[in-house]
Chain A
Amino acid sequence: MTTTSVSINVPDAAGRFGQFGGRYVPETLVRALDELTAEYDKACRDAAFQSELSSLLKHYVGRPSPLYHAKRLSEQVGGAQIWLKREDLNHTGAHKINNTIGQGLLTLRMKKQRVIAETGAGQHGVATATACAHFGLDCVVYMGEEDIRRQAPNVFSMKLLGAEVRPVSSGSRTLRDAVNEAMRDWMSSVETTHYILGSVVGPHPFPRIVRDFQAVIGRETIEQSREQMGRLPDTVVACVGGGSNAAGMFYPFVEHQGVALVGVEAGGRGAKPGDHAAPLSHGHPGVLHGSFSYVMQDEDGQTCDVHSMSAGLDYPGVGPEHSYWKDTGRVRYTNCLDQDALAAFDTLARTEGILAALESSHAVAKAIELARGKPKDHALVVCLSGRGDKDAAEIARLKSQHT
C-alpha cells in the first residue's frame, strides 16, 4: 500500500521512520542510547571523523568495492544485464565491516574499552573482531550454538582475531537469541561497553547509524553506474535479513524514483509459519529487540521460530526503515526459497567464478528471475553482500541432504 510519500529525512528525533522504529528498551539502556545518539551527531559534523572513516574504508577495507558486469551470467540468463556490487571483496569478505569500522571509531570517541556484538552468519562477528583488533578494543561476540555449528570457519577467525565467542544456548540458538544475550550483557556493562549492533535493527539510533555507515554501498554504486553504464541502473536487488546491506544499497537510491528497488527475504522451505524468515512477506507490525517493525509473532506477541538455511537471514524481525519502505511502496519485498538460493549459488560459481555467501545467493536468485523477463538494455544491480567460503561445508551438507 502506498499511504504516504517516502522521505529520506528519516528517522525523526524519536527514531521514527513513519510509524516504525522508536526505542522499546529497558530504562537501563536509555542513557547509553542517548549518549550514542549525541556522539554520532557530533561525529557527523566532525570533518576529522569523516576523513578518518574515509581513509580507513579506502586503505584498510579496500573500498571502493568494484561494480562488476557479470557478462557470462547475463548471457546465460538471456535478459537484463546483471551487475554485481562486490561487497564480497571487502576486507573480511562482506559489507559488515563498513559498519564496524564506523562504530569502532564511535567507541573510541565515547572512551569505551570493551565492545560486544551479536552475530548470525559470523560475518558481523568477524568484522567486529577485526575492528576491535585494529583499534585495540576488547571484544565479546554472542553467537547461537546452531550458528556456531553451521558457520564454523568464522568462529575460528573471530578467535584468531582475539575475540571471545560466547555460545548462546537459549531459544532457537540462532541470531535472535544472540541479540537477546548481547542486550543482557549490555544491561550490566552499559557504562564501560559499546554494543556494535550489526544490522539496521534494534532501538534508535542503531537503525540510522548502521544505515548511514552502510550507505557507502549505494553511493558508490550510483557513481560507478554513471561511470560504467553512463546512467543509473533500472533495478537494484539486495537480500534482507535484518537488512543492513539492503538499507545501505537502497538508501541513496530512494530519491531516484526511476530505479526499482527489490528486497529479497529468506523464503526458506515455503510460506508455512516456521518454514521461512520473511516478516515483510508474511509478518505483522510488532515489537522485537527494541524497535517497532514487521516481525514474525504469534497472536499473543510471542516471537515465532523462523527458518532459513542461511544463518545471516535466519531472523524473525527486520529493520524499521524496510517496514517504512514497504508501506510507502518505495521498495518491493519478495522472498526466495532455500533451494533457489542454492541453485543461484551454483550458477554464479560456474558462470562467473564467484562463490557468493548463502545470504547474497538469495539476491542473486531473485535477480536471475527478474532479469529473464527484461530487455537486454535493462541494467540490474545485485548487492553481492558477502563471499561464500564460510558456507562451503554447510553447502556440502545441504547438498548431500538433497540427493
Chain B
Amino acid sequence: MSKIDDLFLTLRRERRKALMPFITAGDPDLAFTAAVVKELVARGCHLFEIGIPYSDPIADGPVIQASYTRALAHKIKLDDILQTLGDVAPRVAAPLVTMVSYAIVYRHGLEKYVDDVGRRGVAGLIVPDLPVDESAALAKICAARNVSLIQLVTPVTPRERAVRIAETSTGFLYYVSVAGITGERTQLPPDLIDNVGWLRTQTDLPICIGFGVSTPEHVKLLTPVADGLIVGSAIVRRIAAANEQPREKVLRDVGDYVATLLAAL
C-alpha cells in the first residue's frame, strides 16, 4: 500500500473526489515550488504531480514546455529537486508523484531513482514515455519499494490493451482525456464520459482524468465518473507569472483559481 492507495481508500469511503495539481519543479525556483505545494494543500488539494523538467518533452504543450525550458535555463539539477521534495513530502499529508521522462530515470539508474524518491517520501511515479510494454523492470522495482507506478490510458488505446494497462498500474490509472499534448481546452471530447465509464467497469483502481481539464465546468462534468482530476497547464501558466510579478500575489491567484475547481468537486 502506497500513500496514494490510502488516500483513495479514505476518499472513496467519504464519497469524495481528488484534485491533483501539476506543478513544474523549479519554475521560477524550487523555493516557490515548495510554497505552491503548501498553499494548495492549505486550499484542500489532495495529491500533487511534480513535473521534473526535461529537455525534450514530446507529450507536452507550449505552457509546460516553456516552464521546463525556464527551469532548465536556471541550471536546475535533479538532486536539488529531490532534496526539495524530501523537505516538502513529510510536511504535507498529500502524496507527491513525480512526472518524469524515462530518459531521466534511465540515466539516474532505475533502482537509484526509485530509491531516491521513495526515501524522500514521494509516493509514486508517472513516466509518460514508458508504455506498459517497456515498463516491467521499473514496475518490479517500484513494487518492491512500495512506490506506485501510474500508467496511462488514452482515447486511442485499444480496449484489450487498456485492460492490460489497468492490471499493471498501481496507485491510480491516469486517463488522458484527448489524443494530443497537454494544454487547456475549452471543449473536452464528447465520448470522454462514456470511455471512462467503460474503463470503470474494467478495474477497481481509482481513475484520474488529465489533459485539458481546466475549468469548474470540466470538474462538474467529470467528477461523477472519475476518482480524481489532474490540472496542469492552467496552473503552470498562472505560476509562470511569478517570473515577473510579486510572489505573494501569484500564490494567492493560483490558490484562488484552484479554490474555484475545488468548489466544483
Contact = CB atoms under 8 A, between A and B. Distances in A.
Interface string A1-36: 000000000000010000000111111101110000
Contact of A23 (B61, B133, B181): B133
A191 interface: yes
A153 interface: no
Nearest to B79: A300
Given A191-B179, A301-B108, A25 B131 contact: yes
Interface string B89-119: 0000000000001111111100000000000
A376 to B, nearest CB: 48
Given A28-B156, A31-B156, A301-B104, A180 B58 contact: yes
B236 interface: no
Interface string B34-45: 000000000000
A24 B165 contact: no
A118 B156 CA distance: 24
A142 to B, nearest CB: 12
B176 interface: yes
B231 to A, nearest CB: 19
Given A24-B102, A288-B56, A302-B54, A31 B158 contact: yes
Interface string B175-188: 01011110000000
B260 interface: no
A286 B72 contact: no
Interface residues of A, number: 34
Contact of B129 (A31, A188, A290): A290
B134 A176 contact: no
A382 interface: no
Nearest to A292: B106
Contacts of B54: 301-302
B55 A286 contact: no
Contacts of A184: 58-61, 181
A301 B181 contact: no
A26 B152 contact: yes
B198 to A, nearest CB: 17
A188 B181 contact: yes
Contacts of B106: 286-287, 292, 301
A27 B131 contact: yes
A55 interface: no
Given A183-B58, A301-B106, A302-B72, A24 B179 contact: no
A171 B131 contact: no
A266 to B, nearest CB: 19
B179 A176 contact: no
B152 A297 contact: no
B107 A299 contact: yes
A170 interface: yes
B176 to A, nearest CB: 7
A187 B58 contact: yes
Determine which residue in A25, A190, A287, A289 has the highest number of CB atoms from chain B within 10 A of its CB, and name it. Answer: A287
B61 to A, nearest CB: 8
Nearest to B156: A31
Interface in A283-316: 284, 286-290, 292, 297, 299-303
Nearest to A172: B55
Nearest to B113: A301
B181 A187 contact: yes
Contacts of B78: 300-301
Contact of B77 (A26, A180, A300): A300
Interface in B6-20: none
Contacts of A299: 107
B11 to A, nearest CB: 25
Given A180-B56, A184-B58, A302-B72, A23 B131 contact: yes
B103 A187 contact: no
A25 B129 contact: yes
B2 interface: no
Contact of B156 (A190, A292, A301): A190
Given A171-B55, A300-B104, A287 B129 contact: yes
Interface string B131-146: 1111000000000000
A183 B104 CA distance: 19
B58 A301 contact: no
Contacts of B161: 30-31
Contact of B157 (A23, A30, A286, A288): A30
A284 B107 CA distance: 9
Contact of B103 (A30, A176, A180, A287): A287
Nearest to A176: B56
Contacts of B134: 22-24
Determine which residue in A176, A184, A303 has the highest number of CB atoms from chain B within 10 A of its CB, and name it. Answer: A184
B179 A301 contact: no
A28 B154 contact: yes
Nearest to B153: A27
Nearest to B104: A301
B128 interface: yes
B130 interface: yes
Contacts of B176: 27-28
A286 B128 contact: no
A143 to B, nearest CB: 17
Interface of B: 54-61, 65, 69, 72, 77-78, 101-108, 128-134, 151-154, 156-158, 161, 165, 176, 178-181
12 contacts: A23-B134, A25-B131, A27-B128, A30-B161, A184-B60, A191-B156, A299-B107, A300-B78, A301-B101, A301-B106, A302-B72, A303-B103
Given A25-B129, A286-B106, A287-B102, 19 more contacts: A22-B134, A24-B129, A26-B154, A27-B132, A27-B151, A28-B59, A30-B131, A31-B158, A170-B69, A171-B55, A171-B69, A180-B58, A184-B181, A188-B179, A188-B181, A191-B156, A284-B107, A289-B58, A300-B107
- Which 10 pairs across A and B sit closest by C-beta, in order of nearness? A301-B107, A188-B180, A301-B104, A183-B58, A287-B103, A26-B59, A302-B55, A303-B55, A301-B103, A300-B78
Interface of A: 14, 22-28, 30-32, 170-171, 176, 180, 183-184, 187-188, 190-191, 284, 286-290, 292, 297, 299-303
